[in-house]
Amino acid sequence: MSIRTPITAQQYQKMRQGAAAKERDLAVRNGILNVGLDETALNHASRVAGRHVFSLELPTGKITAQEKSGRCWLFAGLNTLRFKISQKRNLENFELSQSYLMFFDKLEKANYFLENILETRDEESDSRLLMWLLNAPLQDGGQWDMFTALVEKYGIVPKEAMPETFSSRDSSRMNSVLTHILRGNAAGLRGAYRKGAAIAELKIRKAEMLQEFYRLLTLFLGLPPVNFTWEYNDKDKRFVREEPCTPLSFYHREFPEGLRDYVSLINAPTPDKPFMQTFTVRYLGNVEGASPVKYLNVEMPLLKAALIRQLQDGDPVWFGSDVGKMMKREDGILDASVYEYEGVLDTQFTLDKGGRLEYGESLMTHAMVISGVNLQGSRPERWKVENSWGDKYGNQGYFVMSDSWFDAYVYQVVVHKKHMTSEMRKVWETEPRALNPWDPMGSLA
């Protein structure tokens, strides 16, 4: 017996009468109709509180711009590296090539996708797993461990060694065409398997597909450099020419400590993810054979303490958050109170952070860099954020994030192991529990 019920005429009449009877709504309705909800609900106090002054601030360089692409995670990762290189080399405005890593991310994601297609060859075409794999095999987004895998395998280069192209700056057409190709490849591999092709034959076909994919990728992003000579002028106007090097030797020379000791701490307060436990996500990655994406879920005070220790050590912090929530983009303000939605609408939002994750209201959408904090004693009040949206927003591209916004919408920070407590380091070494691919912690920045 069905329990479904339609809206009746009597019900509708009651709704209309109830809405019309609320006199307070008249002025609010006019405000929202004329200027929209955000301008009606804008809290001026957030502008006052969002001062771009910090008790601890790292001297990061000119803001970068990912433009019409989803490469924030690459920009944020490379911005943490360029800070150290700039300090070491006495550079003022220096960038590493984002299109270089974008190229290899696309290539590796293509291989990773086709390997997943072969692994799931017995899945029905309408299975949830296969549909998830086919949904977005080549999107621009990524995770910290995926960034590490690319850098450790392919190295890094200065931006002038592989500059931006039309498709690196505006990736939608490239992505749609290459995704079309990959879905066709998936259909070809699965079709050949159904006709009796052995795995060895399917692997040969996959290699041929990747050969063609590489060729197409060069048409959009260019050929990556095999070696290059680095020339620059430092802050003292001193000209320097380095000996020719490869991208990998450049990385190891400029960043000898490497990235393997940087780990991801998350704050995901949902019933299925106990604190002080490690997690991974099935089918989340890019470089086949690299270390899997791994998280340690911790309570917020532990996460912030490790982050502050890293800033005090002179090291900026890669972090992931739900950037679209409670943001005044033009002013560069991230504040949980920047819009008084509940007061203006005379309603209540009932989901807490865990509920927002569990019921699809929030997930990590964007990666940026924390390069400063304003401390009242040991308590953080606001944070300096290096974004990758160009210099038109905020303070020449830098945002200010209130601590209340941090609590509500920051999900991940990357810190060096030395900044974790001994208990956290011990738990980090435990075997992670695998989450489903569609878990919110499987989202890509």
**Residue 134: which of 148, 147, 123, 149 has the closest Cα?**
123
CB burial of 320-354 (b: ≥16 within 10 Å; e: otherwise) equals: bbbbebbbbbebbbbbbebbeeeebeeeeeeeebb
Would you name the residues annotated as active-site residues? 72, 366, 387
| Mean pLDDT in consecutive groups of 10 residues from the start of the chain, 445 residues | 93 94 92 96 92 94 96 98 96 96 98 98 97 97 98 98 98 98 98 98 98 98 98 96 96 95 98 98 98 98 98 98 97 97 96 98 98 96 97 96 98 98 98 98 95
What is the structure's pLDDT at 47? 87
Q: What value, to the nearest 5°, has the Cα angle with vertex 440 and ends 180 and 371? A: 100
Q: Are strands 327-328 and 333-334 parallel, antiparallel or unpaired?
A: antiparallel
Taking the C-alpha atoms of residue 183 and residue 392, their distance in angstroms, rounded to an integer, is 38
**Residue 161: which of 112, 236, 232, 63 has the closest Cα?**
232
**Residue 415: which of 330, 333, 303 has the closest Cα?**
303
What is the structure's pLDDT at 61? 86
Q: Report CA 69 to chain centroid distance, whole Å.
A: 12
Taking the C-alpha atoms of residue 103 and residue 108, their distance in angstroms, rounded to an integer, is 9
Q: How far is CA 121 from CA 190, 205, 210, 284, in A?
A: 6, 14, 18, 18
What is the structure's pLDDT at 76? 98
Cβ atoms within 10 A of the Cβ of 427, count? 17
Four-residue CA torsion sign, 275, 281, 287, 290: positive
Domain ranges for the chain: 56-442
Summarised one tens digit per residue, pLDDT across range 370-427 is: 999 999 999 999 999 999 999 999 999 999 999 999 999 999 999 999 999 999 999 9
What is the structure's pLDDT at 1? 82
* Stated length of the chain: 445
Listed in sequence order, the residues at least 6 apart from 347 whose beta carbon sits closer than 8 Å to its beta carbon are: none
**Residue 291: which of 145, 156, 154, 416 has the closest Cα?**
145
Taking the C-alpha atoms of residue 98 and residue 217, their distance in angstroms, rounded to an integer, is 15
Q: Report CA 225 to chain centroid distance, whole Å.
A: 26
56-442, CATH topology level: Cathepsin B; Chain A (3.90.70)
Cβ atoms within 10 A of the Cβ of 391, count? 14
What is the structure's pLDDT at 77? 98
Q: What's the pTM?
A: 0.96
Is 115 within 8 Å of 179 (Cβ atoms)? no
Q: Which residue has the tokens 């019409």?
A: 68
Q: Where are the alpha helices (DSSP H) in 287-437?
A: 300-312, 341-345, 353-358, 403-409, 422-428
Taking the C-alpha atoms of residue 362 and residue 385, their distance in angstroms, rounded to an integer, is 20
Q: How far is CA 425 from CA 263, 278, 377, 431, in A?
A: 10, 11, 26, 13
What is the per-residue DSSP string for 357-397?
HHTTS----EEEEEEEEEEETTEEEEEEEE-SB-SSSTBTT
